[in-house]
Structure 1
Amino acid sequence: MNSPATLDPEAHVTPVPGGNAEGSDPFAAIGADGLVADERPESDDLLGDDWIVLSDPDLSELELKLVETAMSGSRLTAGPMVERFERSFARWLGRAHAVSVASGTLGTWLALRALGIGPGDEVIASPHGWHQVAQAVSLAGATLVFSDIHYWTGCLDPVRAEARITPRTKAILAGNVNGHPAAWGPLRALADRHGIALIEDSTEALGSRYQGRKVGSFGDIAVFDFSQPSALACGDGAMVVTDDERLAIELRYLRQRSIKDRNSLSVGARVPLQAGISELTAAMGVGQLARIDELLARRKVVEAFYRDLMNSFEGIKPPYIADDVDEVHWMVWQVHLGTRFTASARKQIVDDLNREHIEAAPFCKPLHQQFFYQQQGWKRGDLPLAERIGDRALALPFHALLDEDAVRFIVGALKDIATNIGAGVPIY
């Protein structure tokens, strides 16, 4: 289902004289682009129908019917659709408990709180990834200790992570970057050896398999995110999963106060958030999960288009898949530019692709190079592998609605642009 262009929530609009008169139907003037009649966006972030967008949700009549069912019920919050989504997701993943939350960042924050991690504690994490859920460590008041990545997978390197462990280390937060599973065997052994928690960030991965098991089944707690460009997209929302009943009970308490708690005279030492999802979000999740095999298979078709057409590049390398990985479901199609390309050259490539109405973006700006963490003493040069990938990784459109002609156009445009900018330098 092609989604209409959306308005950047931070974009400003300017009312134009002659808008709705007082007392008229307030909905009549709302257009398909979400703007009220006679308003004009002061932003160029609205993409037209002729753009090939980075992600586009794969929706069906099933999701629409389930949302309508949820809307006809008496509860839009904490109702039967949320419970159904949680049960179905836990069963699909093979974990005992699933707790739905508003976002992957909030889910990670709640996981840290449930594990008792806060001020004075350290958590080891990679600075590299699409969803910056590692920032939840700072929100929880703990100290984020960055460690470098495995160059080919982009995931946290267990050997380098072990060198960062101190008596204050309470957890390792490792991610399945762009869908590629982390080295869960060594990471699990590392966490067990030092008696620390292992938190699995699966916000970039859904359906990938490592040594016969789906990602999300390796950490003491794992976090998924259902915003775009996830294969299972609900608009917003996330899921925290665990096999530990005590942790599940604590996660549910911290997520939101229930109706039965409203007569409580004291909140207690553990102050909960208002961090649940609505029945409407859960309804979309139930529908998407029922179609998950179809959704992933359709994306595999697009992956095959990219693999075949990328062979037109001289010296191109297919995406790396580690030996102990059974299956990878990519979040976006990621291209690594060669070492002779600079970060500014990548920006030029992105700009030139945009001029062709192809939405592209840098894959990640490493967290340790961002202002908040620079204020804590982190600097460029501290994590050279993450920086090397961070400067040159390029995200291209990847979703089930792309056909072979669209992918051919993307690859052809990239080849021409990269050749001009790099003076014939291979992409890899």
Structure 2
Amino acid sequence: MTPGLNRGKIMNGKLIKFSDPDMTSRELEGVYRVLGSSDFSGGAEIEAFERDFARYVGRKYGVSFSGAKVAFYLCLKALGLGKGDTVILSACSWRETGQVLAWAEIVPRFVDIDYWSMAIEPSKIEKEITPEVKAIIGSNPNGHPADWQQLEKIAKDHSLFLIEDSTEAIGCSFKGRRVGSFGICSLFDFSQPSALVTGRGAMIVTDCEGLASLLRILRDRSAEERQSVVKSRQPYLGCSMSGLEAALGVAQLQRIDEILQKRKAVEEFYSHFLCGFEGIKDPYVSPQATEVHWFSYVVHLGTRFSKSSRDAIIEDLRRENIEAYPYCHPLHMTGWAIERGMRRGMLPITERVADRTIALPFHGQLSFEEVEFIVKNLKEASLNVGAGAAIY
């Protein structure tokens, strides 16, 4: 819990949580089913979750993992990316991306973003392509799809791998095509505050049978495979998803439309209370994004807000026991990146977004009254620090 969240007023005697997984008796039944079996670590639940999730996003194969970090690391290894290679990506990306690239000794080349969608700007990519570049990593920030049509074209024209980071975008679509279906493969994360939660866990989905097979080899071995001289030549990390996590995943996936609809209702609550308030802009949806389900509810502050005033607003919300956070910590301004010569000023739009965005509580358990309370305090806090009239 963030320091200070136990202070001040609590609405209806409780903290308004940033994330609260949507669990029902169906999820409990799945867990009890595994607990009553003899196989907690593998088995049919994992196979079912991989098959069903791949089908949901429109892919042929799904490979589950114990966590998204290790899944992304093994994805890079399976694609043959390693020391000295360069990848192009946005610094407004999943927070663990940079750490994994550092582990793999892969050089990140950051490109700025579109201010409104917060997705990587395709028009800025081609001038950054050099012989060292081997891949583009595109993300769907906070659930808003990137311009996958342009990204696929650039990757194809330059013979680069295109990797889709969908850690924040379950259920979203670009021009009628579900995210998770773009590029050589796509990565999903099932930890909070995702709409689909298994506790921990992740999935890589792909249409490439060879890539899926290699990922399974790098992930783990069955007891029989460990006895095989041939199959044990390639070292593995032992990072499979557990049967318990997979059972949660199967149940959550069966309910995913219901879960997303409940979150959509909360989005409408926010829109109702924020409508017309000068200086705070609700999330943007581009015409190409045919379906968007927000990862969190992110608002943009006006031009006269500074990073310090944004932070003051967040602190005011926390005093009222409302969990809120900065949405983005730019990857090029983290410790490992600064040690590699990166600095503030390199990506002005990314930095502007990072300084002026707030991620508010967002989950299907929020009531109309709770959202009203959140927005009321957000407005009061913004007035206390000085509202900005313009948004850009």
TM-score, normalisation: structure 1: 0.87
1:22-421 correspondence runs (5 A):
50-264=14-228, 270-314=234-278, 316-421=280-385
Residues 346 and 317 of structure 1: is their aligned pair in 2 closer, same or farther, counting only changes over 3 Å?
Answer: closer
Query: Shift in Å at residue 426 of structure 1?
Result: 3.7
SS class of match (2:273): helix
* Greater Rg by CA: 1
- Partner letter of residue 380 of structure 1? R
- Partner letter of residue 279 of structure 1? G
SS class of match (2:318): helix
Residues 341 and 315 of structure 1: is their aligned pair in 2 closer, same or farther, counting only changes over 3 Å?
Answer: closer
Q: Which runs of 5+ in 2 are unaligned?
A: none
Q: Deviations for 1:90-132, whole angstroms, at most 9, x for unmatched residues?
A: 1111110000012222221111111000012111111113543
SS class of match (2:267): helix
Distance in 2 separating the partners of 1:307 and 1:382 = 33
SS class of match (2:97): coil
Query: Shift in Å at residue 425 of structure 1?
Result: 2.8
Q: Which runs of 5+ in 1 are unaligned?
A: 1-6, 9-42
- The answer on whether the counterparts of 1:104 and 1:133 sit within 8 Å (CA) in structure 2 is no
Query: Shift in Å at residue 314 of structure 1?
Result: 2.4
Q: Deviations for 1:232-272, whole angstroms, at most 9, x for unmatched residues?
A: 01111011000000000001111112212322458877421
Distance in 2 separating the partners of 1:204 and 1:398 = 13
- Partner letter of residue 260 of structure 1? E
Distance in 2 separating the partners of 1:383 and 1:224 = 26
- The answer on whether the counterparts of 1:130 and 1:363 sit within 8 Å (CA) in structure 2 is no
Distance in 1 separating the partners of 2:375 and 2:167 = 27
Distance in 2 separating the partners of 1:165 and 1:345 = 37
Residue 376 of structure 2 is aligned to residue 425 of structure 1: no
Identity %: 46
Residues 293 and 427 of structure 1: is their aligned pair in 2 closer, same or farther, counting only changes over 3 Å?
Answer: farther
- The answer on whether the counterparts of 1:332 and 1:398 sit within 8 Å (CA) in structure 2 is yes
- The answer on whether the counterparts of 1:130 and 1:178 sit within 8 Å (CA) in structure 2 is no
Distance in 1 separating the partners of 2:279 and 2:321 = 27
Distance in 2 separating the partners of 1:217 and 1:157 = 20
- Partner letter of residue 353 of structure 2? I
- Partner letter of residue 228 of structure 1? Q
Q: Deviations for 1:25-84, whole angstroms, at most 9, x for unmatched residues?
A: xxxxxxxxxxxxxxxxxx767798611011100000000000000111111112111111
SS class of match (1:339): coil
- Partner letter of residue 56 of structure 1? D
TM-score, normalisation: structure 2: 0.94
Distance in 2 separating the partners of 1:123 and 1:73 = 44
**Superposition RMSD on alpha carbons, in Å?**
1.9
Q: Deviations for 1:346-394, whole angstroms, at most 9, x for unmatched residues?
A: 1111111000110000111101011110110101011111111011110
SS class of match (1:304): helix
- Partner letter of residue 74 of structure 2? L
SS class of match (2:162): strand
- Partner letter of residue 183 of structure 1? D
- The answer on whether the counterparts of 2:280 and 2:300 sit within 8 Å (CA) in structure 1 is no
Distance in 2 separating the partners of 1:270 and 1:127 = 33
Residues 342 and 317 of structure 1: is their aligned pair in 2 closer, same or farther, counting only changes over 3 Å?
Answer: closer
SS class of match (1:223): strand
Query: Shift in Å at residue 322 of structure 1?
Result: 1.4
Give the number of the structure whose residues are more often helix, by fraction: 2
Q: RCO (CA 8 Å, sep 6+): is it higher in 1 or 2?
A: 2
- The answer on whether the counterparts of 2:88 and 2:109 sit within 8 Å (CA) in structure 1 is yes
SS class of match (1:112): helix
Distance in 2 separating the partners of 1:90 and 1:404 = 34
- The answer on whether the counterparts of 2:57 and 2:178 sit within 8 Å (CA) in structure 1 is yes
SS class of match (2:211): helix
Distance in 2 separating the partners of 1:129 and 1:46 = 30
Residues 268 and 117 of structure 1: is their aligned pair in 2 closer, same or farther, counting only changes over 3 Å?
Answer: farther
- The answer on whether the counterparts of 1:81 and 1:282 sit within 8 Å (CA) in structure 2 is yes
Distance in 1 separating the partners of 2:180 and 2:91 = 20
- Partner letter of residue 255 of structure 1? R
Query: Shift in Å at residue 317 of structure 1?
Result: 3.8
Distance in 1 separating the partners of 2:46 and 2:103 = 26
Residues 135 and 219 of structure 1: is their aligned pair in 2 closer, same or farther, counting only changes over 3 Å?
Answer: farther
Query: Shift in Å at residue 215 of structure 1?
Result: 0.5
